[in-house]
Amino acid sequence: MEIERRDILLSAAAMVVGMAAPACAAPPRKLGYAIVGLGYYGLNVIIPQFAKCRHSRLAAVVSGDPAKAKRVAAEHGLTPDSVYSYDTFDRIRDNPDVDIVYVCLPNAMHAEYTIRAARAGKHVLCEKPMAISVAECEAMIAACRAANRRLMIGYRSHFEPHNLEAMRLARAGDAGKIRYVRSEHGFVQGDPAKWRLKRALSGGGSLMDMGIYSLQAARYMTGEEPVAVTARESTDRRDPRFTEVEDMIDWTLEFPSGALASCQSMYSANQNHILLMGDKGRIELEPATQYDGNRMWTGRNGRDRVIEPPPVPVNQFVGQLDHMAECAAAGREPIVSGAEGLRDMRIVEAIYRSAREGRTIRLQR
């Protein structure tokens, strides 16, 4: 599996600057977002954050449910011409109030709406995973590059205080030479009708959902890019939830320094944990990547010392929204750009291949 040197360098740089987003001059005005997809995340998690943003505001909504879209628009003081359906989405090019499109749709729709947004002249913030294939990721990057628009992926942990402090401590050598990272993420997915359990919409099971957190953590905690992956799947196909997608998948990543990462994702157990071990100690987060309530410890052999990260003025969601607005206004690449999403998807494809073929897959530079 070929990994381009340019992508490796870009993603490594993104992980380093991700510990402290580069300062940009404040945009002259709040940039307008169009939220595409009014499911739980877009409606209940993202839209309420605009009230706390310094550089971002809600400017439009896009939904397949006209009644819901009109209601949400009215609740947030938007005019009727700021409401779009999926069929009328391309008309967004004529709306100067929309600067950025935030794609909060099922995974299989990310590429289409990112590309359409770029062609409409809009910057794009796209939820993770970036897409369902390497080819789609490459097409998204190409479309944004052709339109001279910025593309950012919704890796919110790069704006979360505990994860940022864990990255800083790891880079500062707090645990010594890094030898091992363990990262497990999962929850009990109970409804077989959910889109995440339909391969046509999700592109896969727990790996394409919670597995992205585990993979990201392995990369940003070590600060390295893996050179090999060995994976194994465990799924009960008699379970009606898992007729199309995997339940649990675990994989081991090998890094150039000799460090190993043991990662796992699952849809049949609740887990949210990151542990880094070095020759001088450990850094541990549990819960690690929740919306709030994350906790962290360091110690020689266990949880000896509670770590409270330095206070930050905004939460991870606001930080993400405003960072994208700043980058769009300044013409700068976001710290988690499309190159970062592409890098993850290349590894995801290798994980699936390893599990399917029962062998180690080398990730060559």
- In the annotation, is 198 catalytic? no
Q: CA-CA distance, 81 to 102, in Å (whole number)? A: 18
What kind and span of H or E run contains 212?
Answer: helix 211-222
Rounded Cα distance, 224 and 244, in Å: 33
Among 179, 168, 175, smallest CA distance to 280 is for 175
- Cα angle 119, 124, 128; round to 5: 125
Residue 128 a catalytic site member:
yes
Q: CA 24 to CA 326: how far, in whole Å?
A: 6
- Active-site residue identified among 213, 220, 267, 352: 213
Query: Computed over its alpha carbons, how large is the radius of gyration of the chain?
Result: 20
d(CA 279, CA 283): 12
Token pair in block for residue 39: 């499911």
Q: In what order do the strands lie in the sheet with 31-36?
A: 83-84, 56-62, 31-36, 100-103, 123-126, 151-153
SS3 content of the chain, % helix, strand, coil (to 5): 40, 20, 40
Q: Which residues pair with 284 in a beta bridge?
A: 275, 297
What is the number of other CB atoms lying within 10 angstroms of the CB of residue 201?
Answer: 17
CB 252 within 8 A of CB 224: no
33, 128, 220, 267: the active-site residue:
128
Contact between residue 123 and residue 101 where contact means Cβ atoms under 8 Å apart:
yes
Partners of 186 in the β-ladder: 266, 271
Give catalytic residues, as residue numbers: 128, 213
